[in-house]
Structure 1
């Protein structure tokens, strides 16, 4: 009962945080283009601004998310989770105050800085917290419920954005972000990692010797050495890392391109983008709540991961070839199936490490995903700007999205090769790399 109460408070916190973020999300392209290119449906400058923000965010998150994950193993999830929840309020509050050109530039600077800490860290810490309180055999379903809550919050946030004015949208988002931080501080109780559950992956010593060296580990900060240690000691972890990189490379490229693509080709505005995201969110929420608990025991996490990545690729391909508006709405329905990939990947990763390394392992995977955020803008932002401009070498507005689908296909091929050992976290013993 106590564990259920902890998870409930975690889900409420994640819901409020995601609601705030997704309430603002559909309005960002309109605000950006209004500030940089007033009165236009196509703006290369806005695309490059978005790409620059992704690069800055990705480089920073590549370093910060593993750090936060590791610190949460040492000082508790609640303590570390406070940092991104509070920082998330600042940029939303700026746009809630005003959206002039000058305020947009102030928002942009603060958004780049705060996203370094916020991007990926809340989900990473939430997954680690859930892993602390859920047995291994139930983690895929638990992570699926967490993803369902995120999808549900996205739906509610997009519906809110659909019916509010732009100014009210950001005010509501900032207020909810502040509420998320306050709720977490008041109600969420910290979870202590139980090191007796299994031996740490990065150590060949038994639990008692690890405990006796607690002071040594507490003073250590995560580094690239930690990441390479995970990659070298577990082939499953390294394969999951490849899937995480190419899947996130595809997702970031798709999300960065799709709004400007729909705006240029079909003249989508904030409300229609919100409608599209509501469809996707409702479908994914229903899928995670109803289908995941049924399909995980039948298919297993590995096969369900492959199913999710495959349909992620397929839905991007449909977007890139959209010949009418309804095709984009139909492609959004594929979230019923492609939403599986992330919780299945998180569950696979969580089972490769001991209880004392959940934050570090999820942080390393999030760091790899953040590196995809760095690479993606260099590939997809120029392609999007080129093929949406009048100087395109040939007419194919969705070319950059098709390239994102190709990255997702690479992730699908790799996902088919993952073979998870039954007890990876207890059977692998290596020396700590220093």
Structure 2
């Protein structure tokens, strides 16, 4: 890599770190804040589960449309200019809960988060991946994507560690400050990717038309763009299926696990923070130290399958947890399952031209957004049912077990994934 690229990547990593630090800092506290606002004094609250599921589904609908659009626009206008939108808007929901966490302000936060995240959710990691692809040759992308993911895991550890020692009010106040700091840092230090505007509109599949005749409006037809992207390569199609079921499981676990642990073992903010710190440290070590070693020897496809297998095992262990220490032990599996997302993104990145990295990552994020729609509709009612007194049989972790089955489907599909040589080779 050239010196300029290293300079740009270092500031990108810091921007991603500050954004993730701000985002993850509030995760351990949000369940307690939600329960206190909606069902004070209770350990089980179906309303909180349903509202969380509805929020995830609505955000998924928005990002399904927006991710391909923003990815394509970043190919034209540059990554930094498009990154400015989510880095700025995502400060607002944090600021609302930093001001007050009463029931009224919780609902204001809830509405603003849905509207803003429908536009911005997933945009920052998506465009960060495209930025890395702009500046790293194909041979080093898996490692670079792993490092980027490791930076996110390091922020996850720092954020949850901070939440462990801060009150709920202080957590949201510090998170808002860090979010503002991240947006300012990006504007001052991050240089935009260098894009060849002469090759701006080259499609993945050539139809014999002049590149210059493709209008900008075509980038806005996100669903059509998504379909054509999936049909452009069998490898991309298979990777999209893996990404869908993997994210179906991720979103389901994220929406259900904390409510499950609170109802099953009476976990609170500090327990959640401890659990996330263990998972985050294991993931950070794995992505920054182990992944650069494993990728050259095992290959991306095999490492992807290993990650997805242990992703499934970790969910099944959660579902049958018989004691409060079991979730902590299961969290250690993140040292192996964190490989999956960087590997999927790297495989897809190598199947498209350099000027289409934003479109490629945006379309894969769009596929993941479908999982954000389907997962809450499938798993939130199941979680609420089996945590209630109306459960058809005594198995509080049944919904987590079903989520693990979705992860197993992605593992099986990954075993059939055949990676063709990169498009530029």
The alignment's TM-score, normalised by the length of structure 1, stands at 0.94
**C-alpha separation between the residues in 2 aligned to 1:266 and 1:219?**
51
**C-alpha separation between the residues in 1 aligned to 2:217 and 2:354?**
15
1:339 equivalent in structure 2: 338
Say if 1:284 and 1:335, in contact at 8 Å, map to a contact too: yes
- Counting only pairs closer than 5 Å after superposition, residues 28-107 of structure 1 correspond to structure 2 as 28-107=30-109
Is 1:391 the counterpart of 2:390? The answer is: yes
How many residues of Structure 1 are paired with residues of Structure 2 in the alignment?
423
- Show CA shifts across 1:290-309 (max 9, x none): 11110000000000011111
2:354 equivalent in structure 1: 355
- Counting only pairs closer than 5 Å after superposition, residues 369-388 of structure 1 correspond to structure 2 as 369-388=368-387
| Residue 199 of structure 1, CA deviation | 10
**C-alpha separation between the residues in 1 aligned to 2:229 and 2:94?**
36
Q: Which runs of 5 or more residues in structure 2 are unaligned?
A: none
RMSD between aligned alpha carbons? 1.8
| Residue 229 of structure 1, CA deviation | 1.2
Q: Judging changes above 3 Å, is the alpha-carbon distance between structure 1 residues 196 and 353 closer, same or farther for their aligned structure 2 residues?
A: farther
- Show CA shifts across 1:256-282 (max 9, x none): 110000000110000110000000000
- Counting only pairs closer than 5 Å after superposition, residues 277-292 of structure 1 correspond to structure 2 as 277-292=276-291
**C-alpha separation between the residues in 2 aligned to 1:416 and 1:200?**
32
**C-alpha separation between the residues in 2 aligned to 1:183 and 1:228?**
36
Is 1:269 the counterpart of 2:268? The answer is: yes
Is 1:2 the counterpart of 2:25? The answer is: no
Q: Judging changes above 3 Å, is the alpha-carbon distance between structure 1 residues 201 and 405 closer, same or farther for their aligned structure 2 residues?
A: farther
1:326 equivalent in structure 2: 325
1:367 equivalent in structure 2: 366
| Residue 326 of structure 1, CA deviation | 1.4
1:432 equivalent in structure 2: none
- Show CA shifts across 1:234-266 (max 9, x none): 000000000010000001101111000000011
**C-alpha separation between the residues in 2 aligned to 1:115 and 1:132?**
26
2:27 equivalent in structure 1: 25
**C-alpha separation between the residues in 1 aligned to 2:379 and 2:373?**
11
2:204 equivalent in structure 1: 202
Say if 1:200 and 1:353, in contact at 8 Å, map to a contact too: no
| Residue 197 of structure 1, CA deviation | 9.8
| Residue 118 of structure 1, CA deviation | 2.4
- Show CA shifts across 1:150-184 (max 9, x none): 00000000000000010000000011011111111
1:153 equivalent in structure 2: 155
Q: Which runs of 5 or more residues in structure 1 are unaligned?
A: 428-434
1:231 equivalent in structure 2: 230
**C-alpha separation between the residues in 2 aligned to 1:221 and 1:119?**
18
Say if 2:319 and 2:400, in contact at 8 Å, map to a contact too: yes
Say if 1:132 and 1:194, in contact at 8 Å, map to a contact too: no
The alignment's TM-score, normalised by the length of structure 2, stands at 0.96
| Residue 205 of structure 1, CA deviation | 6.7
Say if 1:33 and 1:40, in contact at 8 Å, map to a contact too: yes
2:407 equivalent in structure 1: 408
Residue 118 of structure 2 is aligned with which of 116, 119, 134?
116
| Residue 225 of structure 1, CA deviation | 1.7
